[in-house]
């Protein structure tokens, strides 16, 4: 153990068994060798799958579409990838790779953590389909480990204990993912399912002070006034994200101050 109570290294005596996709990504199994057809490889398949998802979303992704993009038959892909579920894991890792130098070397924990958080938001906004990939367990992708590592580094010099440092990373990661999904879903909304008036005007006609007095006060404040859908525009969503991030970071700052006074 180091002087700060952290393990200097992690020893794993028992070999863990990973699912096929994770075993491939971590080099625990041999990658499929290139077949007799030039131009077809696991890397090419992953890249093509990401391109299909970028263009059509996950709902438009299929082994057939990937094969068509590469100019091969669908069956030829199964030499490299056993199925769509495995392909989703592989392309998720590829698309969510952390850009170089996400966290600045200088600056306090808050600056580094905010930079790290906003980099995740940029990732989801550049590839909205990533939020559609289901989370079925704790993060084990190589790309996820890189994000976790740099997030933990941002708070490594604070007095927070290991559980609190992990909690900080979990909260911010969940916040970014939820906000990214919310923003993406609003962008796909059906205009026919929404009021043609502004949100504030719609609420003013629907809520009653006897049952929803807090909402009536909110409408009366005027913050929801404006043109239809104004509150759903990109600028508002950016402001909403900034507000939520500030609240979380303020809470972390208070927790750090509390630990520092112990």
Indicate the pTM of the whole model.
Answer: 0.83
Name the DSSP letter for residue 16.
P
Please, what is the end-to-end C-alpha distance for the chain in angstroms?
22
189-201 per-residue burial string, b: 16 or more CB within 10 A, e: under 16 = eeeeeeeeebbbb
Give the pLDDT of residue 212.
Answer: 95
Q: Mean pLDDT by 10-residue block, N- to C-terminus, for the chain (262 residues)?
A: 49 72 85 68 95 96 97 94 94 92 80 95 95 89 95 95 97 96 80 64 90 94 69 66 97 93 60
Gap between the Cα atoms of 54 and 56, Å rounded? 6
Element spanning 40, H or E:
none
CA distances from 190 to 123, 126, 149 (A): 25, 22, 39
CA distances from 152 to 138, 149, 155 (A): 16, 5, 6
Give the pLDDT of residue 221.
Answer: 92
Give the pLDDT of residue 1.
Answer: 40
């Amino acid at each position: 153990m180091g002087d700060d109570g952290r393990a200097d290294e992690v020893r794993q005596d028992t070999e863990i068994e990973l699912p096929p996709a994770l075993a491939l990504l971590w080099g625990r199994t041999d990658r499929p060798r290139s077949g007799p057809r030039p131009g077809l490889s696991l890397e090419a398949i992953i890249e093509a799958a990401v391109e299909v998802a970028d263009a059509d979303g996950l709902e438009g992704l299929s082994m057939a579409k990937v094969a068509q993009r590469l100019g091969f038959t669908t069956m030829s892909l199964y030499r490299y990838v056993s199925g769509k579920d495995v392909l989703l894991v592989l392309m998720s890792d590829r698309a969510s790779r952390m850009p170089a130098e996400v966290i600045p070397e200088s600056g306090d924990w808050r600056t580094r953590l905010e930079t790290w958080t906003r980099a995740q938001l940029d990732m989801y906004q550049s590839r909205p389909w990533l939020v559609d990939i289901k989370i079925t367990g704790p993060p084990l992708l190589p790309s996820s480990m890189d994000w976790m590592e740099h997030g933990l580094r941002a708070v490594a010099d604070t007095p927070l204990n290991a559980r609190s440092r992990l909690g900080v990373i979990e909260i911010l990661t969940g916040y970014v993912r939820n906000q990214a999904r919310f923003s993406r879903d609003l962008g796909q909304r059906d205009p026919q399912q929404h009021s043609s008036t502004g949100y504030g005007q719609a609420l003013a006609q629907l809520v009653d002070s006897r049952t929803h007095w807090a909402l009536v006060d909110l409408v009366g404040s005027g913050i929801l006034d404006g043109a239809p859908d104004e509150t759903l525009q990109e600028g508002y969503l950016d402001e909403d994200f900034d507000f939520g991030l500030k609240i979380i970071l303020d809470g972390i700052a208070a927790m750090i101050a509390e630990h520092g006074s112990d």
